[in-house]
A = this chain, B = another copy of it.
Amino acid sequence: MDLFDNINPLDYRYYGRSAADFELLKQFLSENARIKYQAKVEAALVKVLAKKGICTSKIAEEVEKAALAVTAEEVYAEEDKIRHDVRALANCIREKVSEEARPFVHFSATSYDIVDTASAVRFKDAVEKALLPALFDLEKTIMKIALREKETVQIGRTHGQHAEPITFGFAMASYVSRLGSRIKAIESAKNNLPGKFSGAVGAYNASSLFFEDPLEFEKEIMQELGLNASISSTQIVEPEPLVDLVHAVVSCFGVLANFSDDMRNLQRSEIAEVGEAFEAKQVGSSTMPQKRNPINFENVKSFWKQYMPRMNTVYMDQISEHQRDLTNSASQRFLPEIIAALFLSSKRLEKVVSKMSVDTENMAANFEKSRGMIVAEPLYILLAFYGHPDAHEEVRKLTLKAQAEKKPMQELIPHEKSLVPYLKKFSKKQLEIIENPEKYTGFAVQKTEKIIAHWKKELKI
B293 adjacent to A201 (CB under 8 Å): no
- The contact sample of 25 A-B pairs, CB cut-off 8 A, is A82-B283, A161-B267, A161-B268, A163-B291, A163-B323, A164-B205, A166-B201, A174-B234, A177-B232, A203-B444, A204-B444, A208-B442, A215-B450, A239-B254, A244-B247, A254-B318, A258-B319, A262-B321, A265-B322, A289-B395, A290-B373, A290-B396, A305-B316, A309-B313, A311-B311
B13 adjacent to A1 (CB under 8 Å): no
Q: Does A440 belong to the interface (CB within 8 Å)?
A: yes
Which of B15, B244, B381 meets A206, CB within 8 Å?
B381
Q: Does A349 belong to the interface (CB within 8 Å)?
A: no
Q: Does A137 belong to the interface (CB within 8 Å)?
A: no
Q: Does A58 belong to the interface (CB within 8 Å)?
A: no
B83 adjacent to A204 (CB under 8 Å): no
**Would you give the shortest CB distance from A146 to chain B, in whole angstroms?**
10
A369 adjacent to B269 (CB under 8 Å): yes
B177 adjacent to A290 (CB under 8 Å): no
**Would you give the shortest CB distance from A212 to chain B, in whole angstroms?**
10
Known A1-B16, A7-B11, A164-B203: A214·B443 in contact at CB below 8 Å = yes
Q: Does A95 belong to the interface (CB within 8 Å)?
A: no
Q: Does A404 belong to the interface (CB within 8 Å)?
A: no
Please, which residues of chain B bring their CB within 8 A of the CB of A177? 231-232, 238
**A434-450 interface code vs B (CB 8 A; 1 in, 0 out):** 00000011111001001
Instruction: Give the residue name and chain of the B residue nearest to A211 (CB).
Output: B443
Which of B270, B298, B321, B381 meets A327, CB within 8 Å?
B298
Stretch at the interface among A128-136, A178-186, A220-228: A178-186
Q: Does A333 belong to the interface (CB within 8 Å)?
A: yes
Find residues 1-28 in chain A having any chain B CB closer than 8 Å to their own CB.
1-17, 22, 25-26
